[in-house]
Amino acid sequence: MLFRKKKETNEVRRRIILTKQITDSVITYAKSCHPNEGILILQGKKEKNLIKVTGLIIPPFSTHGPYYSGFPVYQLPFDLSYIGTIHSHPSRSNNPSLEDLNHFFGLVSLIICYPYDVEDIAAFDRNGNKMDIEIG
């Protein structure tokens, strides 16, 4: 007998789609920042429960460090195409830290951890729930 995992209450699980090109750029950027964290803004659009990432932006005034990278959100122009961020973890964990959840921006937070391969990318919503990632 098969048991399905219980669905999260109220909320339908969202999926995020990354193009191959975006994925490659993110990997290259994360590697270039290592051993520090790097952070990029995701541009994209939301269609029902699907979030498509269409571009990456280097945030102005970003700070880099081995444990935290961020940028002052108030410095950003108001732009509806900004749907979230991706940042790197020089560790082998792509789970969001408390700091990450406190600095959540937009709809999705992507985290890529060392050694920065496609499988090292994870996506989370504002509540720290994992989202499915599709690369295509």
H-type helices in 34-77, by residue range? none
Q: Does 125 bind Zn ion (CB under 5 A)?
A: no
Least distance from Zn ion to the Cβ atom of residue 9, Å: 26
Distance CA 69, CA 87 (A): 7
Task: Select 52 or 89, whichever has its Cβ closest to Zn ion.
Answer: 89
Binding mask 80-109 for Zn ion (x = CB under 5 A): -----------------x--x---------
Task: Select 55 or 128, whichever has its Cβ closest to Zn ion.
Answer: 128
Least distance from Zn ion to the Cβ atom of residue 100, Å: 4
Least distance from Zn ion to the Cβ atom of residue 72, Å: 17
Task: Select 54 or 97, whichever has its Cβ closest to Zn ion.
Answer: 97
Task: Specify burial of residue 107 (Cβ count, 10 A radius: 0-12, 13-18, 19+).
Answer: middle
Indicate the residue whose CB is closest to Zn ion.
Answer: 100
Number of residues in contact with Zn ion under rule CB under 5 A = 2
Least distance from Zn ion to the Cβ atom of residue 67, Å: 8
Neighbours of 93 (CB within 10 A): 12
Distance CA 9, CA 77 (A): 34
φ and ψ at residue 16, rounded to 5 degrees = -125, 135
Q: What pairs with residue 133 in β-bridges?
A: 16
The SS3 call for residue 111 is strand
Q: Does 120 bind Zn ion (CB under 5 A)?
A: no
> Contact positions toward Zn ion, by CB under 5 A?
97, 100
